[in-house]
């Protein structure tokens, strides 16, 4: 187990999340993809924290987890809201809004 | 002979990637959430191997315990709407996403393999002293050095609570809509709120209600 | 004691947010409290603290908070700017929410919390506090966007904003993770010290990811896809807040990162640094946004694209940081100030022009307004002129300083492109005035009916005062901005 392998794994998770974000329309799936990316960043922090020594990397990771929780709470509330209004829980990220 | 640590890493890594892939490709969001759970467990395993014991525990408690459960709640509430069949974007968007992801992956491989990094950083992780990453070391870092961000995170959690409440609480009439929006609202599908438990288990709920009444 | 003093703007806003939250939760009936006025009171107190500290020679000592929070003049300037923006948005909300029947106290609490987050973001000298501030600001803005819960468009805009915003945050956090790995620091100064000596591939990739993440937040083209929908779907006071405070906060982040973490000469050179990247973003942002803004039928959406275009002009000033950080930084700060008051005023005038059920949305809604309601039309015209950059308004000097900084930095072509763009931009601002003064509504067509509200009038008066004052005597404000842009000089 080495730093390089951890970094590569994190990069792989990040890329998979990126693909999911761009290729899916379902809000829950997109949110899950964002979670993947957040986890990848945490892994990078912890791996570098171990490599660098000192608690800084881990402290950042724990704040990052708190941040993700807050984000998910608001995001899922928004998903519920959209479902109530549209009866649908899909979203087009790239297009102009329906009018 | 392959070291035990290497095997451990590969088991965790492959599970993590499998979980990540199932998040991205599965049509059923429950399966996606389970994929995330798998990923979280294996990342927690990696945290353990990286001497971040406390963080591994946090990862399990917060991610697996709170986030995944929250996701499952919402998936249940959304019901069938959470697993619409026509979910993937068009070919172009998928190709773009795949291309971008592949590009990032290639960049990462090039980065890790690049001479600059390899020469400067001896890849095997150094040995650390056993207290590293434990509750003691972590707690003193969090509450002594990083006290300011710890206090600031209070504001973050507070705004998340107020924001989620402001978005999701109760109902609101259509009085606030502009002309064009009112048309959109009328054209939209019948108010799902009034449809009751429009979830996966809606039949059961209705059956139960009928039974009890 | 010193620390409490130095933190007083932040503490006052935080206290206000908590008190308002409790007051709203325990008040017997909804809408019985003058929460708009209370919000303005708290941000006003914060501004007063900021102004007072800005005037004294030595800022209160707060070294024990470093590197998490840097309580320097740069941070103080943004504290005042953000409180001004937040206060104007709260005033507008006081009129708008009541008129349209969606008055709930959470909106003001969210404004205060989001302002607090932006202030923390602008003062932070470390990636950890930076993220916490950024997310506090963004989460507040997401929730405010979805505040008209009955509207499908609001929900869709908010969700788009949320998803792309979280995506940007994930990119930014990954970028800082790589920077941490490359340098061993998460504080910007530490990153800057290491980045000055050794440039590793890891560092470069981290810096690129950070810049991309910030570009999302300032909604620079091509990372702007969320902006028009979110701005259009949000209730107009929330739009104002996003266009004003959220954008200013994102620019504070950009300036801090570029000046402190990547401020070394090796990174600010044209050949091997960030200036070409920022210049490209600036040109794309100005041009694309201006071209699309001219084609809009909705005035609100036009103003949304206009706010993207203005981010482009500000990025011209950011590019000029490569030569003279102090002057160029000051030009960006002045630009943000003039943009804040002009944009808040323009959205405020749009709010004023519509009343319940008869909101002003399209150009046609405004036709004939100059004859029917001259005061509202006059206020709108003033802010549009300022946005177009026509003297004697704040917008003129804002553009003047930014383009002058670009010329001083030898970026003639960038200044010329900026000038050409502001001429294109003038077209769609003046088009609104043409409709207001030279068109009459078609017979029987629904017309917008201006509302009456002391809150909105007050917000317009404050903005108009700033627009004219900055347009007639900009010297004092630019001195303040120069002192603020001298980073690290206390």
Mean pLDDT of C305-323: 94
In a domain, B140, yes or no: no
The reply to whether B44 and B103 lie within a common domain is no
Q: State whether B81 and B104 are in the same domain.
A: no
Give the pLDDT of residue A96: 44
Same domain for B4 and B55, yes or no, is: yes
With CB atoms and an 8 Å threshold, state whether B87 touches A26: yes
Please check whether residues B122 and B48 belong to one and the same domain: no
Q: Which residue of C128, C132, C142 is in closest CB contact with A74?
A: C142
Best A46, A75, A80, A90 residue to mutate vs chain B (most B CBs within 10 Å): A46
Per CB-CB distance under 8 Å, the chain C contacts of A64 are: 131, 173
- In order of start, what are the domains of chain A with their CATH numbers? 3-86 (1.10.287.3510)
pLDDT digit string (tens) for B17-33?
Answer: 999 999 998 888 899 99
Task: Give the residue from B57, B86, B115 where a domain finishes.
Answer: B86
Residue partners of B169: CB distance under 8 A and separation at least 6 = none
C254-311 tens-digit pLDDT: 999 999 999 888 888 888 889 999 999 999 999 999 999 989 989 999 999 999 999 9
Domain boundary, last residue among B133, B163, B194 = B133
Please report whether residue B164 resides in a domain.
Answer: no
The total domain count for chain B is 2
What is the Cα B25 distance to its own chain's centre? Answer: 15
Same domain membership, residue B97 and residue B82: no
Domain limits at B93? Answer: 88-133
Residue B66, chain C, CB below 8 Å: the answer is no
Q: What is the ipTM of this complex?
A: 0.93
* C229 to chain A, closest Cα gap in Å: 6
pTM to 2 decimals? Answer: 0.91
Q: What is the mean pLDDT of residues C243-264?
A: 93
**Do B117 and B51 belong to one domain?**
no
- Among residues B59, B86, B113, the one where a domain terminates is B86
B172 domain-assigned? no
Is the residue at B1 inside a domain? yes
Query: Is residue B77 located within the same domain as residue B52?
Result: yes
Residue B72 lies in a domain: yes
Q: In this predicted model, what pLDDT tens digit does every residue of B29-88 receive, in sequence order?
A: 899 999 999 999 999 999 988 888 899 999 999 998 899 999 999 888 887 766 666 666
Pair (B81, B92) in one structural domain: no
Residue C453 confidence (pLDDT): 87
* C269: CB partners within 8 A, 6+ apart: C275, C322
Whether B4 and B73 share a structural domain = yes
User: Is residue B19 domain-shared with residue B62, that is, in the same domain?
Assistant: yes
pLDDT at B199: 37
Task: Indicate which CATH number applies to the domain containing B46.
Answer: 1.20.120.1200
Rounded CA separation C76/B113 (Å): 44
In a domain, B95, yes or no: yes
Q: What confidence score (pLDDT) does residue B190 get?
A: 43
pLDDT of residue B116: 52
Asked if C151's CB is within 8 angstroms of A81's CB, the reply is no
A59-94 as b/e, with b when 16 or more CB fall inside 10 Å? Answer: bbbbbbbbbbbbbbbbbbbbbbbbbbbbbbbbbebe
Clarify whether residues B27 and B62 are in a common domain: yes
Interchain contact, B17 vs A33, CB within 8 Å: no
| Residues in chain C within 8 Å Cβ distance of A71 | 135, 139, 166, 169
Shared domain check, B54 and B4: yes
> Confidence class of residue C481 from pLDDT cuts 50, 70 and 90?
very high
Residues 141-180 of B with CB under 8 A from C: 146, 148-149, 152-153, 155-156, 158-160, 162-167, 171-180
């Amino acid at each position: 187990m080495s730093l390089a392998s951890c970094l590569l794994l994190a990069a792989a998770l990040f890329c998979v999340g990126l693909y999911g974000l761009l290729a899916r329309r379902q809000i829950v799936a997109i949110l899950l993809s964002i979670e993947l990316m957040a986890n990848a960043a945490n892994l990078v922090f912890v791996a570098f924290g171990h490599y660098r020594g000192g608690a800084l990397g881990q402290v950042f990771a724990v704040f990052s987890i708190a941040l993700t929780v807050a984000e998910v709470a608001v995001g899922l509330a928004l998903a519920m809201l959209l479902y109530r209004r549209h009866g649908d829980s899909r979203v087009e990220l790239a297009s102009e809004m329906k009018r | 002979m392959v070291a035990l640590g290497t095997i451990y890493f590969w088991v965790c890594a492959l599970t993590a990637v499998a979980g990540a892939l199932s998040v991205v490709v599965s049509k059923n969001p429950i399966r996606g959430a389970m994929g995330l759970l798998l990923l979280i467990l294996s990342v927690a395993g990696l945290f353990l191997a990286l001497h971040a014991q406390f963080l591994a525990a946090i990862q399990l408690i917060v991610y697996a315990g709170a986030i995944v459960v929250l996701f499952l709640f919402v998936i249940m509430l959304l019901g069938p709407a959470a697993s619409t069949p026509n979910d993937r974007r068009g070919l172009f968007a998928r190709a773009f996403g795949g291309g971008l992801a592949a590009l990032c992956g290639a960049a990462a491989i090039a980065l890790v393999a690049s001479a600059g990094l390899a020469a400067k950083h001896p890849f095997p992780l150094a040995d650390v002293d056993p207290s590293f990453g434990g509750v003691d070391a972590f707690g003193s870092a969090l509450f002594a050095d990083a006290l300011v961000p710890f206090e600031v995170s209070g504001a973050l959690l507070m705004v998340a609570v107020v924001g989620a409440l402001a978005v999701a609480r109760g109902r609101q009439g259509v009085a606030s809509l502009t002309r064009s929006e009112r048309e959109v609202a009328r054209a939209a599908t019948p108010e799902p709120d009034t449809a009751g438990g429009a979830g996966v288990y809606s039949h059961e709920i209705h059956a139960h209600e009928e039974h009890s009444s | 004691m010193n620390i409490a003093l130095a933190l007083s703007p932040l503490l006052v806003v935080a206290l206000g947010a908590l008190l308002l939250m409790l007051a709203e939760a325990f008040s017997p009936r909804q809408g019985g409290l003058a929460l708009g006025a209370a919000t303005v009171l708290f941000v006003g107190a914060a501004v007063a603290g900021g102004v007072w500290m800005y005037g004294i020679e030595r800022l209160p000592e707060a070294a024990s908070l470093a590197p998490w929070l840097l309580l320097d003049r740069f941070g103080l300037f943004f504290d005042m700017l953000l409180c001004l923006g937040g206060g104007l948005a709260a005033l507008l909300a006081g009129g708008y929410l009541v008129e349209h029947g969606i008055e709930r106290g959470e909106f003001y609490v969210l404004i205060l919390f989001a302002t607090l987050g932006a202030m923390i973001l602008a003062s932070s000298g470390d990636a950890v506090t930076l993220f916490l501030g950024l997310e506090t600001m963004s989460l507040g803005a997401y929730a405010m966007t979805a505040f008209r819960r009955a509207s499908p468009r609001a929900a869709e805009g908010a969700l788009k904003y949320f998803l792309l915003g979280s995506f940007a945050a994930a990119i930014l956090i990954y970028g800082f993770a790589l920077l941490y790995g490359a340098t061993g620091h998460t504080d910007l100064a530490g990153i800057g010290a290491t980045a000055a000596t050794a440039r590793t591939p890891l560092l470069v990739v981290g810096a690129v990811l950070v810049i991309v993440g910030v570009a999302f937040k300032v909604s620079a083209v091509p990372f702007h896809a969320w902006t028009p929908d979110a701005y259009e779907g949000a209730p107009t006071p929330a739009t104002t807040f996003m266009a004003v405070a959220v954008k200013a906060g994102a620019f504070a982040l950009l300036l801090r990162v570029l000046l402190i973490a990547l401020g070394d000469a090796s990174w600010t050179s044209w050949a091997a640094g960030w200036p070409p990247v920022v210049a490209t973003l600036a040109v794309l942002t100005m041009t694309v946004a201006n071209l699309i803004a001219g084609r809009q039928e909705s005035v609100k959406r036009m103003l949304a694209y206009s706010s993207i275009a203005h981010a482009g002009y500000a990025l011209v000033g950011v590019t000029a940081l490569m030569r003279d950080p102090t002057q160029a930084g000051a030009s960006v700060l002045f630009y943000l100030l003039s943009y804040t008051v002009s944009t808040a005023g323009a959205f405020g005038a749009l709010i004023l022009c519509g009343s319940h059920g008869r909101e002003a949305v399209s150009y046609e809604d405004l036709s004939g307004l100059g004859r029917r309601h001259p005061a509202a039309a006059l206020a709108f015209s003033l802010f549009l002129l300022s946005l177009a950059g026509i003297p004697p308004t704040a917008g003129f000097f804002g553009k003047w300083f930014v383009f002058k900084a670009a010329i001083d930095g030898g970026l003639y072509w960038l200044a010329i492109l900026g000038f050409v763009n502001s001429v294109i931009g003038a077209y769609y601002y003046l088009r609104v005035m043409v409709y207001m003064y030279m068109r009459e509504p078609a017979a029987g067509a629904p017309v917008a009916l201006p509302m009456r509200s002391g809150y909105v009038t007050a917000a317009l008066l404050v903005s108009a005062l700033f627009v004219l004052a900055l347009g007639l005597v900009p010297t004092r404000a630019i001195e303040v901005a120069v002192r603020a842009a001298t980073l690290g000089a206390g």
